[in-house]
Amino acid sequence: MFLLVQRFGELMRKLWNPRNFKAHVSPHEMLQAVVLCSKKNFQITKQGDGVDFLSWFLNALHSALGGTKKKKKTIVTDVFQGSMRIFTKKLPHPDLPAEEKAQLLQNSEYQEMMVESTFMYLTLDLPTAPLYKDEKEQLIIPQVPLFSILAKFNGATEKEYKTYKENFLKRFQLTKLPPYLIFCIKRFTKNNFFVEKNPTIVNFPITNVDLREYLSEEVQAAHTNTTYDLIANIVHDGKPSEGSYRIHVLCLQPTWYPQPTLPSTPRCPQMAWCPPAPPRCP
């Protein structure tokens, strides 16, 4: 697994070498290491899921550098790892009589429990996309502010999670913010028959996103800086089973690359970075 660290380090040194002879850098050796270390779960000739790769890549680098899940840290966890509290409450079966539900809720099994957990990125849930067309026979693409879907982590918002046998209510509260924070907007829903993509547009600022209110009160004092600026963004274009990924990166000038073209109306089906004017998703 340490081969992955070596190849990634070599690629970064080539990218940032001011005396590099060539104007371009090939990531081929790095990609070969990914294929080998992932046991061909990620391949050069086949497109994979961007979130699955990011999760595997960060954890693989951490493990290869000698890190562990609980105690030993590495530069990966120092940069990207935060922590949260997860509050879980088991729910009685919805078909039970009201009296029986009330009795079950008195049992310790159905009381709220709290666990501390770490994260490398935060998964944000989108509201359900509309199923029907509007009066003009066009599908409505809804829009949602970033802070609406961030409410998942305010410590008060509850959401029901269903398993094969049981249902749970969960709420989340952040207890530590990492220096670099990764958001993953959950757009793809998988079932036994197909993969569906939620086209909801997320409107968000690209600077000074303050997350202080999502921290528990006792840890707010330990965070002198809780604001973030957007520096990179990965989007998926096209159908769920096909399509392609692209990235926008903020350079040091500051300038975004690649340069976008702004359509007259917002039409992108995924979260994308927003230029200062107009303050909407291109």
CA quadruple 88, 90, 95, 96: dihedral positive or negative? negative
pLDDT tens digit at each of 282 positions of the chain:
889 999 999 999 998 888 888 778 889 999 999 999 999 999 988 888 888 999 999 999 999 999 887 778 999 999 999 999 999 988 887 777 778 777 777 888 888 899 999 999 999 999 887 766 666 656 678 889 999 999 999 999 998 888 777 888 999 999 999 999 999 998 888 877 788 888 888 998 888 999 999 998 888 888 888 999 999 988 888 888 778 888 888 877 677 777 655 443 333 333 333 333 333 333
Using left for φ > 0, alpha for ψ between -120 and 50, and beta otherwise, residue 96 falls in beta
Which residues does 17 contact at the CB level (< 8 Å), separation at least 6? none
pLDDT at 132: 66
pLDDT at 198: 87
Query: What is the residue-wise DSSP string for 196-240?
Result: EE---EEE--SS-EE-GGGB-HHHHTT-S--EE---EEEEEES-T
Rounded-to-integer distance, Cα 229 and Cα 162, Å: 35
Does this model's pTM top 0.85? My answer is no
pLDDT at 106: 81
Rounded-to-integer distance, Cα 270 and Cα 8, Å: 29
Strand order in the sheet with 167-176: 113-119, 82-91, 167-176, 159-162
Q: Which amino acid is at 187?
A: R
Q: Are 166 and 90 in contact (CB under 8 A)?
A: yes
Rounded-to-integer distance, Cα 24 and Cα 21, Å: 9
pLDDT at 35: 94
Instruction: Using alpha carbons, select from 57, 69, 78, 68 the residue that is nearest to residue 7.
Output: 57
pLDDT at 269: 36
pLDDT at 139: 65
pLDDT at 177: 94
User: What number of CA atoms fall less than 13 Å from residue 46's CA on the CB side?
Assistant: 9
Q: Is 166 helix (H, G, I), strand (E, B) or coil?
A: coil
pLDDT at 134: 62
Measured torsion, CA atoms of residues 270, 189, 245, 119, in degrees rounded to the nearest 10:
90
